Each structure stands twice: as structure tokens, then as C-alpha cells.
Amino acid sequence: MVRVLLLGGHGKVALHMTRLLAAHNHKISSVIRNPDHAIEISDQYPENPSLIEPVVASIEETDEEGAKELMKGVEWVIWSAGAGGKGGPERTKAVDEIAAKRFIKAALLAPSVTKFLMVSASSSRRSPASYWTDSDRVAFKKTWDSIGVYSEAKTVADEYLYNESRKSSKPIWVDICLRPGSLSDSHGTGKVDLGKAKLVGSVPREDVAAVAVELLEKETGGGLWVDLIGGSEPISPAVERVVSQRITSRE
């Protein structure tokens, strides 16, 4: 059993992750802003609800000491939080960049934490990927033109996770940046394009959660950045391929 701190616990991807992690007998502390969501969080795994602990806290308002407190006894941290376009550009920066960096720092300083998985976005990069098609490049530009504040905030947070992880002297530390494309609420297919994936297309949130959990449960090594979209390869072989070949989308 691993104790997991899940930040942004009421998000749709996070709810899927909660269920999967509990099914694998991990203990989840799910951080939520609204106490009214606590019952829904606990109900994700009725077979053993004691594995899920809703924690009411504002990620945006939690200071360094508060973040440090949340890390106590935690082994894995998952960032699946975000402003979700609510509150304007200032709040997007406050949550998706500043708060993310605060929790990354706290995780790096916490003796018990060994893994940090960031749920990011495949468009959160400074320039189009070298392996993208022309249509991917067009979509990338449109994304930055329309939600540039969000894309910048996510990119800065991703870079911070990578760079601070490389500076850290922690004996055991794995940082993973999972970068899905457009998310859908369709049922998971169990098949993906993982690693150096295209941008155009979509991926079910259920499949994003499944990939995230498999990556956490693998001995991946640090500095892993992987793009994700719906595809034709089953999830387990896709994760094994990416991990064993050290495929990264970071350029």
C-alpha cells in the first residue's frame, strides 16, 4: 500500500484515478476545495471507502507550511488541479503556475515523498514538437492564441518540476509529466498513443487516469515527459514501451 496525495481531487481525471488507486489498495488523501464533494470522493470505491480520505483545503490559498503539512507520510503526489478557466488570468496563474510550484517544492522537501506526477497538457511547450504534423502545428498555434495564459502557466510549472528535480539531492525521487491532448468524457478504450504522440485528436479521461496509475506503479526513472492521445496500442504495453525505451516528449 502506498499513500498518495491527490491534488485537485474532484476533477474528472482525478476521480478516475481515485477509483483505480483504491482498487490497487493504495491509500488516497484527495484534496478538494468544496466540502460538499467529500461524499462523492469517498463513493469512488465503495468496496473499501476507508482507503479514500477527502481533505478539504484550498490549493490556491495553501501556503508553504500548509503544503508541507499535507505531505506528511505521503509517498506519491499527483497534481491534477487547475483553475479550469474560472476567475480570469490572475487565478489561472495563481493555481496552474504558482500553487503548482509551491506543491512541487514541498514534495521535494518532504522526506517521505518519492514520486511526483504532473497531469499537464500536450500543448504546454514553448514550440511545436519536431515529430508533429502540419495540422498539429496549426492546432498548437490556435491553442496558444486562444488560451495562452493557461498554456504559459502550465509550461512554467512543467519546467519548474523538471529543473528543480534535476537540482535535488533526494536519494529517491521520480518526476513524471503526463501530457494528454484534448480530453473527452467517453468511456475509456484502453488503447492509446503514448510517448511522442500527435496533438490533434482526443483521449478519454478514464484512459488518462489509467496511464497515470500505471506510470506511477512502474520504476520509470525521473525526468519522464510523455504525450498522450487516443490510439491503437493497449495501455500496459504502451507504458512498458515508453518506460523501457526511455521515450520522452521533452525537447
pLDDT tens, N- to C-terminus, the chain (251 residues): 999 999 999 999 999 999 999 999 999 999 999 999 999 999 999 999 999 999 999 999 999 999 999 999 999 999 999 988 777 899 999 999 999 999 999 999 999 999 999 999 999 999 999 999 999 999 999 999 999 999 999 999 999 999 999 999 999 999 999 999 999 999 999 999 999 999 999 999 999 999 999 999 998 888 999 999 999 999 999 999 999 999 999 98
For 53, list phi and psi in degrees, rounded to 5: -120, 105
Neighbours of 82 (CB within 10 A): 22
pLDDT attached to residue 120: 98
Architecture per CATH, 3-245: 3-Layer(aba) Sandwich (3.40)
The pLDDT of residue 184: 98
Of the candidates 190, 217, 185, the residue with the CA atom closest to the CA atom of residue 204? 185
**Res 85: pLDDT:** 73
pLDDT at site 84: 80
Q: Is the dihedral of CA 63, 153, 212, 105 positive or negative?
A: negative
User: How many C-beta neighbours within 10 Å does residue 132 have?
Assistant: 19
Place of cell 516528449: 249
Q: Could you tell me the CA-to-CA distances from 226 to 107, 160, 187, 246 in Å, in that order?
A: 21, 16, 22, 10
Q: Return the exposure string of 109-124: e unless at least 16 CB atoms fall within 10 Å of the residue's CB, then b.
A: ebeebbbbbbbbbbbb
pLDDT reported for residue 140? 97
Q: Return the amino acid letter for 182.
A: S
**Residue 39: how many CA atoms within 13 Å on its side-chain side?**
1
State the pLDDT at residue 88: 87
| Domain definitions of the chain by residue range | 3-245
